[in-house]
Structure 1
Amino acid sequence: MEQLPGGLAELVGPVKGTVTLPLHLAWSGLRTFDLGDEKLLLGMYRIVLLNGRYEDFTSYLDGGLLVSHWPVLRKMLGRGVRAAWEDRFAVLRQASAA
């Protein structure tokens, strides 16, 4: 996936507060997410990972949060998306094995 960032340090999205996703990501259902609520955070990350492009990944995802929530989050993704991220970032594969 050429749209993936080169490194997790490029993921500098918010770590707290409320985020409203643009329509090109969340075109139906919930668009606003309180990052203090783990269920909402995971839902937002799932939407961005499944529907996003490079600009979305770097704007809405945080590298540290992605790694810490990856063991649960990876189960919410399709095999292709999960494999693409784990193939690019070994730390995600390691987090899921821990």
Structure 2
Amino acid sequence: MRRYAKPIVVTDDLALLRGRITGVVTLPSHLDWSGSADYKLEAPDRTVDLYRTVLIEATKPDDLHAFLDRATLTRLWPTLWLPADLRRAWEERFPQLKDTASRAAAA
């Protein structure tokens, strides 16, 4: 059982994910209050951190649409550490993400 009932936010359509793929993204404080809210997208580790943070902390679909990119999410999906209930919700809505993770595990 979860300690607090933070809602899980999933987009209705992966095509709506049209975030930046280059440059520096600064997340608003409701998504990242760590003090390191700047993410240089050319740095693979920071891109992974950005996607993980947005997926976990999103409070509305607009958060996902503004900061995530469909192709990048699909590429990173197998390597993202996410809470099991969040991963399950996304994979139930978008089975192709689960397929991507399965193919990566088999490789």
Give TM-score, length-normalised by structure 2.
Answer: 0.85
Match of 2:31 in 1: 25
Please list the CA deviations of residues 42-79 of structure 1 after superposition, one character each: whole Å capped at 9, or x if unmatched. Answer: 00100000001211100000010000111101xx1100
Which is helix-richer, 1 or 2? 1
Runs (4 or more) in structure 1 with deviation over 6 Å come to none
Alignment of 1:80-95 (within 5 A): 80-95=85-100
Residue identity over aligned pairs, in percent, reads 35
Match of 1:78 in 2: 83
Distance 1:77 1:40 in 2: 16
Distance 2:9 2:84 in 1: 17
Match of 1:8 in 2: 14
Query: May I ask how many residue pairs the two structures share in their alignment?
Result: 96
**Backbone CA RMSD of aligned residues:** 1.3
